[in-house]
């Protein structure tokens, strides 16, 4: 029996589009690993389940993965809801799990016992950290003084905007307004943006996934808003560029994928992904790919024993990831620089990197 890695993700239901990106990217990773001879000569077998973004199904899947499929490790390509529910199950079973982009803090933390879920790791940024990094860039590099916030009402939107606001205020900027919109489903941002226009901010920090992001940028342009728009990793998708069209030009985002990264790992991934799926890779795909590869790497070092894999993950040091160099994990949270990208000529390009350790180091919880 070869080593298994598993991914659960939303194939159907409201998050089906992100599920497809995660699936494609991980399958590409699988191909790379197996083409190179697998792990220590054994092929990696990937099992993919659809959780429909439904926590209840995720619980059943988690149990199935542990008991029926007897997997070696789990990579999650799903949102917070399902990932958060399964984390304690994996923790209890001593099953290493790496989450691709789920953002809820309790994926890596047990709120009842007040201790880390030390079998659970996260490749994506905590919302607060990405928000703080965006604020760092907005105030220090873009010299924004008056800022308006608009964000979706889910765990990610709330976390990233509170991280942004705290850091921006600490650096001396003024937050003019904070508006929260319903997620999923909001398409008409005109009422929010009309309000923002009144305050005439230097910068609008907007959080949302690519649909909302594209609507915000287009409608802001329609309403004649000229303030700089700064977004986050949810904007990081070729779909955003396609739907927003010319309105995307000049939009800046904080994310974890640097498309101008010269490392062959990054450039080959982008090229092969495009070849295999006839579309460009996005942040969700890249993060899920990394979650999968981090796990493969740990299995390569430690073998198939869960404890040993956990130890290898805990000992991760300067790992060369698709979404940046991971210096280490602190209580399961990744430490890596935040990438700042700008849209130029209809493509994402590098604008800067935020690597101030004060900003990107996750806080140690007690």
Partner 1 sequence: MLWQQLANGIAIGSVYALISLGLTMVYGILRILHVAHAGIYALGAYVGLFSFRLIGNFWLSLIVGMAGAAIAGYFVERLLYTPLLHLPRIAPLIVSIGLFTALEEAFRIVAGPHTLAYNARVGLGDLSIGSFHLTETQILILLVTLAILIFLWAFLTKTRTGLAMRACAQDPETTSSFGVNVSAIIAVNFLIGSAMAGAAGVLIGVYDNQVWPTMGSIPAYKALAIVVLGGLGNIPGTVLASIVVGLAETFFIGVLAIPFPRDAVAFVAMILVLMFKPYGLLGKA
Partner 2 sequence: MISGYLVTILITIVIYAMLAHSLNIITGHAGQISLGHAAFFGIGAYTSAMLYTEAGFPFWTSVPLAAVVAGIVGALLGVPCLRVRDDFLAITTMGINFVVEAIFLYIPFFGGAMGIGGINLPKWFGREMTKPEYFFLILVVFVFFLLLDRQLGRSWIGLAWASIREDEQAAGAMGVDVVRFKVLAFILGSAIAGLAGGFYAHFLTFIMPQNFGFGQSIVILSMVVFGGIGTRWGPIAGAIILGVLPEISRPIMEYRTLIYGVLLLGMMRFQPGGLLGPESILSKTFQRTIYRLVSPE
Query: Which residues of the chain form contacts with partner 1 (CB under 8 A)?
Result: 12, 14, 16-17, 19-20, 153, 177, 179-182, 185-188, 190-192, 194-195, 197-198, 210-211, 214-215, 218, 222-224, 239, 242-243, 245
x-marked contacts with partner 2 along 66-105 as a string, rule CB under 8 A: xxx------------x--xx--x---------------x-
Rounded to 10°, the helix 16-35/264-277 angle is 120
Count of residues in contact with partner 2, rule CB under 8 A: 31
x-marked contacts with partner 2 along 3-42 as a string, rule CB under 8 A: --------xxx-----------------------------
d(CA 246, CA 88): 45
Beta pairing class for 146-152 and 203-206: parallel
| Dihedral angle over CA of 47, 53, 56, 60, nearest 10 | 0
- Cβ nearer to partner 2, comparing 86 with 215: 86
Binding segment for partner 2 (CB under 8 A), chosen from 109-117, 139-147, 207-215, 217-225, is 109-117
- Cβ nearer to partner 2, comparing 5 with 316: 5
CB of 89 to partner 2, least distance (A): 8
Q: Is 134 in the site for partner 2 (CB under 8 A)?
A: no
Residue that the structure tokens 């996750």 belong to: 362
Which residues, in sequence order, are CB contacts of 252 under 8 Å at separation 6+?
Answer: 137, 142, 228, 229, 230, 231, 340, 341, 342, 343, 351
Phi, psi of 229 (to 5 degrees): -100, 130
Out of partner 2, partner 1, none, what residue 223 binds, judged by CB under 5 to 8 A for its kind, is partner 1
Asked whether 232 and 254 are in contact (CB, 8 A), the reply is yes
Among 57, 261, 282, 290, binds partner 2 (CB under 8 A): 57
d(CA 148, CA 142): 14
For 334, the 3-state DSSP assignment is: strand
**CA-based radius of gyration for the chain:** 20
For 117, the 3-state DSSP assignment is: coil
Binding site for partner 2 (CB under 8 A): 11-13, 48-50, 52, 55-57, 59-60, 63-64, 66-68, 81, 84-85, 88, 104, 106, 110-112, 153-155, 157-158
């Amino acid at each position: 029996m070869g080593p298994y890695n598993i991914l659960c993700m939303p194939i159907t239901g409201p998050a089906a589009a992100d599920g497809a990106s995660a699936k494609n990217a991980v399958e590409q990773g699988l191909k790379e690993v197996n083409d190179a001879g697998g792990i220590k000569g054994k092929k990696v077998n990937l099992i993919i389940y659809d959780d429909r973004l439904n926590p209840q199904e995720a619980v059943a899947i988690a149990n199935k993965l542990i008991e029926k499929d007897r997997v070696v490790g789990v990579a999650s390509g799903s949102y917070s809801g399902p990932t958060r529910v399964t984390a304690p199950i994996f923790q209890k079973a001593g099953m290493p799990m790496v989450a691709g982009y789920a953002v809820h803090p309790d994926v890596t933390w047990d709120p009842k016992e007040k201790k880390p879920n030390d079998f659970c790791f996260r490749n994506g940024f905590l919302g607060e950290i990405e928000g703080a990094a965006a604020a760092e860039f907005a105030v220090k590099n873009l010299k924004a003084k008056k800022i308006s916030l608009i964000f979706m009402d889910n765990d990610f939107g709330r976390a990233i905007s509170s991280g942004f606001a705290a850091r921006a205020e600490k650096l001396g900027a003024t937050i003019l307004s904070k508006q929260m919109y319903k997620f999923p489903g909001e398409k008409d941002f005109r009422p929010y943006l009309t309000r923002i226009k009144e305050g005439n901010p230097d910068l609008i920090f907007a959080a949302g996934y690519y649909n909302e992001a594209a609507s915000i940028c287009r409608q802001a342009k329609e309403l004649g808003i000229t303030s700089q728009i700064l977004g986050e990793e949810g904007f990081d998708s070729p779909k955003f560029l396609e739907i927003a069209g010319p309105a995307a030009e000049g939009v800046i985002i904080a994310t974890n994928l640097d498309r101008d990264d010269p490392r062959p790992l990054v450039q080959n991934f982008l090229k092969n992904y495009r070849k295999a799926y006839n579309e460009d890779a996005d942040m969700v795909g890249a993060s899920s790919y990394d979650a999968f590869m981090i796990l493969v790497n740990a299995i390569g070092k430690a073998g198939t024993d869960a404890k040993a894999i956990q130890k290898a993950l805990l000992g991760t040091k300067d790992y060369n990831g698709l979404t940046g160099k991971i210096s280490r994990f602190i209580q399961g949270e990744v430490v890596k620089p935040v990438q700042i990208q700008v849209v130029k000529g209809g493509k994402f390009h590098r604008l800067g990197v935020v690597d101030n350790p004060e900003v990107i180091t996750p806080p140690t919880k007690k």
